[in-house]
Amino acid sequence: MTLFTPGDVPESPAQQVLLKTQALGSAILSSASFSIIATDEKGIIQLFNVGAERMLGYRADEVVNRISPSDIHDPAEVMARAQALSLEFSTPITPGFGALAFKASRGLEDSYELTYISKGGARFPAIVSITALRDQDGVIIGYLLIGADNSARKQVEDELIKAKASAEKANLAKSDFLSNMSHELRSPLNAILGFAQLMESGSTPLTADQKESTSHILQAGWYLLDLINEILDLALIESGKMLLSPEPTALDEILLDCQTMIEPEARSHGITMNFCREDKPCYILADRTRVKQVLINLLSNAIKYNSAGGSVTVSCALEGAERVRLSVADTGLGLSPEQLAQLFQPFNRLGQELNGEEGTGIGLVMTRRLVELMGGVIGVESTVGKGSVFWVDWLRTAEPQLHETDIASVAPTPVPKPHDPDLRTLLYVEDNPANLRLVEHLIARRPNLHLLSAGDAASGIHLAREFLPKVILMDINLPGISGIKALRMLREDPLTQHIPVIAVSANAMPQDIRKGLEAGFFRYLTKPIKVGEFMSVLDVALAYAATSAATRGVH
């Protein structure tokens, strides 16, 4: 190879290219921003550029032909890298330079983060890229390591991590504070509402002024309770403590429930309600109770902020194979682009507080977060003077069902005679009609069992105290009182404390199951129900109930 000196003047284009290549190589090797280290095939340093000298504090003559690059890295990290590579490639990897050069020796691109140790003992993070150098026959003749000081980036990352942790801590503290305050506010509010209702319904007639005052107390009290409930829900969502039970839920059943709940409010405002009717049942994957909460909030807003004599239309449409869109359209004043941009801001009522209509400015924020937690998407379209359409895209799912082969696997038992003492009563507390139908279908195969059902915990506790079932099946996420709290109430009552309670829940994470068993459930079954497991656990619980009854001398 011809080498040129600065005084030489290349004559041919090829010589000019060669000179430029030499200049580029010289500039790279002379760079003070990157450490460039070249080794021989055994890993002994042969080249140590200016950048390496500046970064590591060694002179080139102190390391060339003397040490390996692994000698200036943190030995614990080099050892850890060797162990990780051994697991990755199922090949014993030699710690030291062998670990650093392993991937490069196999023609694999390699870049890693390790700690450099300078001559003075200072330690700093570096990013190192390593490439194998080969001769014309492909034989490795050495390795090239290019390193960069990563201290500034690491410092920024550490500061971001600290800032994020601080923000999360502050957010959790705020959520815990809101949650605690919400609970604390309920106690005095309970007394205010309780005594106001006693005054209103008391035997002593109230004067006109007293009636008006009492009415104001109750109206303000119920409004304050709604506000407390919304703040509590929002705090639970933001702190990650909101319990959701996503399961196949019939959308038409939810719409029917919401229609029943919302129509009295619509009539009081003079608003006409129009609900879609589907020919075939449509199931979505969501928490039934929270879906109803979302829809009631959207419907309430559509009624409150509508025009006099207006209407609200609820419609459904398929959005591809995986989603169904539920839309709530009103004939109100509509929203401007500026208002739409601020729509989901907490406590921002977009000026509606001036028209005398009650509201908190929290409902839509909470609605959006609930929808997103359930895997849905919420949006709005609005035209000033014509009204607004709020829509939610829910995840579709198949209707829950038991196959005939599964049903047939449940062997029927002899039909009990009238007043047969062997007829045993079960209670299922479940707010999802689809899940209730499945269990009814199973229990129907066991004529010696009689099933009672309740749609919420309060009703379930009442039935348990009245009929004393042999076994109770309990959903966890129930409207109002949760299944876990209901279990606690049953355990505190001498009448029902002996009844085995089986959890049947869509909360199927290991921590959910552990929490349920620690709360005192006899067994914890997850949805969708596995027929064999369900019947087996039910038989165990019935046997336990019989043994318990014998021990207590009960027939």
Angstrom distances, CA of residue 410 to CA of 316, 443, 444, 465, 534: 38, 9, 10, 30, 10
What CATH number is associated with residue 413? 3.40.50.2300
The 3-state DSSP class for residue 17 equals: helix
- Please report whether residue 306 resides in a domain: yes
- Tens digits of residue pLDDT in 102-141: 888 888 878 889 899 999 999 999 999 999 999 888 899 9
Residues 6+ apart with CB under 8 A from 451: 425, 426, 427, 428, 439, 440, 443
CATH for 105: 3.30.450.20
Residue 18 in any domain: the answer is: no
Q: Are residues 432 and 374 in the same domain?
A: no
Same domain (yes/no): 423, 535 = yes
Whether residue 451 is found in the same domain as residue 388: no
Q: How confident is the model at residue 442, as a pLDDT?
A: 83
CATH, residue 265? 3.30.565.10
Per-residue confidence in pLDDT tens, the chain, 555 aa: 444 444 555 555 655 555 555 565 566 667 677 899 999 999 999 999 999 999 999 999 999 999 999 999 999 999 999 998 898 888 888 888 888 888 888 888 788 898 999 999 999 999 999 999 998 888 999 999 999 999 888 888 888 888 888 877 776 676 666 656 655 666 577 667 767 776 776 667 888 888 888 888 877 777 777 777 777 777 777 777 777 878 888 888 888 888 888 888 899 899 999 998 877 778 999 988 889 889 998 999 899 889 989 999 999 998 888 999 999 999 998 888 888 888 877 666 565 554 555 555 677 888 898 999 999 999 999 999 899 999 999 999 988 765 444 444 544 444 444 455 568 999 999 988 878 888 888 888 888 899 999 988 999 999 999 999 999 999 988 887 889 999 999 999 999 999 999 999 877 777 788 889 999 999 999 877 777 888 899 999 999 998 887 776 665
Decide: 182 and 231 in contact? Cβ < 8 Å: yes
Contact 77, 83 (CB under 8 A): no
User: One-letter amino acid identity for 147?
Assistant: G
Are 475 and 540 in a shared domain? Answer: yes
Final residue belonging to a domain, choices 397, 412, 432? 397
Rounded alpha-carbon distances, angstroms, from residue 35 to 44, 50, 132, 212, 366: 16, 7, 16, 84, 53
Domain count, the chain: 4
Domain residue limits at 144: 31-149
Residue 13 within a domain: no
Give the CA radius of gyration of the chain: 36
> Which pLDDT tens digit goes with each residue over 448-470?
899 999 988 999 999 999 999 99
Which of 100, 120, 149 is the endpoint of a domain? 149
Rounded CA-CA distance 542/549 in Å is: 10
353 and 295 within one domain: yes
* Residue 480 falls inside a structural domain: yes
**Same domain flag for 90 and 223:** no
**Residue 51 and residue 89 share a domain:** yes
Task: Say yes or no: 52 and 94 in one domain.
Answer: yes
Domain-embedded: residue 10: no
The CATH number of residue 227's host domain is 1.10.287.130
- Residue 248 corresponds to which amino acid? P
- Check whether residue 517 and residue 473 sit in a common domain: yes
For the stretch 246-290, pLDDT in tens is 888 888 888 888 888 888 889 989 999 999 887 777 899 998 888
**Greatest Cα pair distance in the chain:** 118
What DSSP string runs through 485-531?
HHHHHHHHSTTTTTS-EEEEES--SHHHHHHHHHHT-SEEEESSPPH
Residue 123 placed within a domain = yes
pTM for the complete prediction? 0.52
For residue 131, the cross-strand partners are 144
Please tell me the chain's helix, strand, coil percentages from 3-state DSSP, rounded to the nearest 5: 45, 20, 30
Contact 458, 480 (CB under 8 A): yes
- Tokens 């490069």 identify what position? 104
Specify whether 103 is located in the same domain as 226. Answer: no
Q: Has residue 194 been placed in a domain?
A: yes
Residues 317 and 432 occupy one common structural domain: no
Domain identity same for 540 and 418: yes
Residue 468 counted as domain residue: yes
